[in-house]
Structure 1
């Protein structure tokens, strides 16, 4: 992400690239080949700054979504949990 200073004739402000798309947790689970419920559980520790967003639907319905950077961060968290079996939440066991 690049930051730039706006035109000198205008008041100074930072310009940031806008998020143009996100991926639902269902799509990310498919992309990473992981269990969606488990990804939901481990993504709780992620913040919007990490690329994890909550999308509000009708009523009280929400869905977790990720930016491209969020998918990268989540993939790193997946690897951390897989590398250390003593961490919780546990990686889902195959039936």
Structure 2
């Protein structure tokens, strides 16, 4: 999400909160490497959905669960 936040000009922590609202059906996946830590990533479909969520939460900031 670090690069996505930079590309979209959004705060990384806020973007993670938005992306946490997404499910696998929305196009978000977790990518795991050798260690136990994974990173959240989006498919192309997920990126489109994420942009829509960003718009929604900017219009309705009180709705984002923290």
1:84 to 37, 47, 60: 60
TM-score of the pair, normalised by structure 2: 0.84
**Secondary structure, aligned partner of 2:15:** helix
The structure with more radius of gyration: 1
Flag as ranges the 4+ runs of structure 1 deviating above 3 A: none
- Size of the aligned set, in residue pairs, is 66
Aligned equivalent of 1:72: 48
The structure with the greater share of residues assigned to helix is 2
2:26 to 35, 40, 50: 50
Residue segments in structure 1 that go unaligned for 5+ positions in a row: 1-24, 91-95
In angstroms, what is the RMSD of aligned CA positions? 1.6
